[in-house]
Amino acid sequence: MSHIQIKNLKKSYIDQRRIARGEEKSFKNQDIVVLNDINLEFQDGEMVCILGPSGCGKSTMLRMIAGFEKPTSGHVLINGEVVSQPRADSIFVFQHSGLLPWMTVWENVELGVRHLEDTEKKHKIIQDYINMVELGNFENHYPHQLSGGMLRRAELARALAVNPDTLIMDEPFSGLDFLTHMKMREEVVNMHEFIKKTTLVVTHDIDDALIMGDRVIVMSGRPSQVKLERKLSFGRPRDLGSHPELRELRDEIFFMLGVSYAV
Amino acid sequence: MPHKRIIYPLVTFFFIIILWELVTRFGDISSNNFPKPIEVLISTEELIVNGKLLKNTVASLFRVSIGFSLAVLLGVPLGIILGRLENAKFLFNPLVQFLRPISPLAWIPLAMLWFGIGDPPAIFLIFLASFFPMVVSTSVAVESIRPTFFQVAANFNFSRYEVLTKIVIPAITPQVITALRMTIAIAWLVVVAAEMIAVQSGLGYLILDSRNALRMDYVMVGMIAIGIIGLLLDFIMRKLGNIESTAWGRLTK
- CATH of residue A209: 3.40.50.300
Cβ distance B154 to A92 less than 8 Å, yes or no, reads no
| Structural domains of chain B, with CATH | 39-246 (1.10.3720.10)
Residues 6+ apart with CB under 8 A from B154: A67, A68, A85, A86
C-beta atoms of A68 and B154 within 8 A? yes
Question: Which residue stretches of chain A have pLDDT < 50?
Answer: none
Q: Shortest CA distance to A200 belongs to which of A108, A107, A78?
A: A78
User: Is A253 part of any domain?
Assistant: yes
- pLDDT-derived band at B127 (thresholds 50, 70, 90) equals very high
Record: contact B173-A142, CB cut-off 8 A: no
What confidence score (pLDDT) does residue B253 get? 42
Nearest to A88 among B155, B171, B246 (CB): B155
Residue A47 falls inside a structural domain: yes
Q: What is the pLDDT of residue A24?
A: 55
Contact state of A100 with B247 under an 8 Å Cβ cutoff: no
- Per-residue pLDDT tens digits for B65-117: 999 999 999 999 999 999 999 999 999 999 999 999 998 889 989 998 999 88
DSSP-derived 3-state class of residue A237: coil
Domain annotation covers residue A155: no
B interface with A, Cβ–Cβ < 8 A, is 148-149, 151-152, 154-157, 166-167, 170-171, 173, 244-248, 251-252
Using CB atoms within 10 A of its CB, is residue B69 exposed (0-12), middle (13-18) or buried (19+)?
middle
Give the percent of chain B with pLDDT over 90: 72
Cβ separation A68–B151 shorter than 8 A: yes
Calpha distance A169→A154 (Å, rounded): 14
Distance CA A187, CA A193 (A): 10
Kindly report the nearest CA distance between residue A66 and chain B, in angstroms: 8
Cis amide prior to A223 (ω within 30 degrees): yes
A131 within a domain of the structure (yes/no): no
Cβ(B152)–Cβ(A100) below 8 Å: yes
pLDDT of residue A23: 58
pLDDT in tens, B218-229: 999 999 999 999
- pLDDT, residue A123, reads 92
* CA nearest to B57, candidates B236, B227, B247, B239: B227
- Residue B246: pLDDT over 80: no
CB atoms within 10 A of CB A180: 17
Distance from CA of A163 to the nearest CA of B (A): 12
Cβ-defined contact of A88 to B251 (cutoff 8 Å): no
In the predicted model, what is the mean pLDDT of chain B?
90
Shortest alpha-carbon distance between residue A105 and chain B (Å): 12
For A94, the closest chain B residue by CA position comes to B148
Taking CB atoms and an 8 Å cut-off, how many pairs form between chains A and B? 55
A68 to B247: CB separation less than 8 angstroms, yes or no: no
Q: At residue B137, does pLDDT exceed 60? A: yes
Of A21-35, B127-141, B142-156, B166-180, the least confident: A21-35
Residue B2 confidence class, pLDDT cut points 50, 70, 90: low
- Torsions phi, psi for A228 (to 5 deg): -155, 140
Phi, psi values for residue A52, rounded to 5° = 170, 160
Tally of domains within chain A? 1
Q: For residue A194, what are the contacts with CB-CB under 8 A and spacing of at least 6?
A: none
CA atoms within 13 A on the CB side of B159: 5
Return the beta strands (E) in chain A as ranges. Answer: 4-13, 32-42, 47-51, 73-78, 81-82, 90-93, 166-170, 198-202, 215-219, 226-231
Domain of residue A245, residue span: 1-19+34-89+168-180+198-263
- Residue B78 to chain A, least CA–CA distance (Å): 23
Q: Per CB distance under 8 Å, which residues of A are interface residues toward B?
A: 66-68, 85-88, 91-92, 94, 96, 98, 100-103, 111-112, 142-144, 162
Quote the CA–CA distance of A25 and A74 in Å, as a whole number.
Answer: 26
Q: Which long-range contacts (CB under 8 A, 24 or more apart) does B1-10 make?
A: none
CA B156 to the chain's CA centroid: 40
- Is residue B243 pLDDT above 60, yes or no? yes
Using DSSP, how many helices (H) and how many strands (E) does chain A show?
A: 8, 10
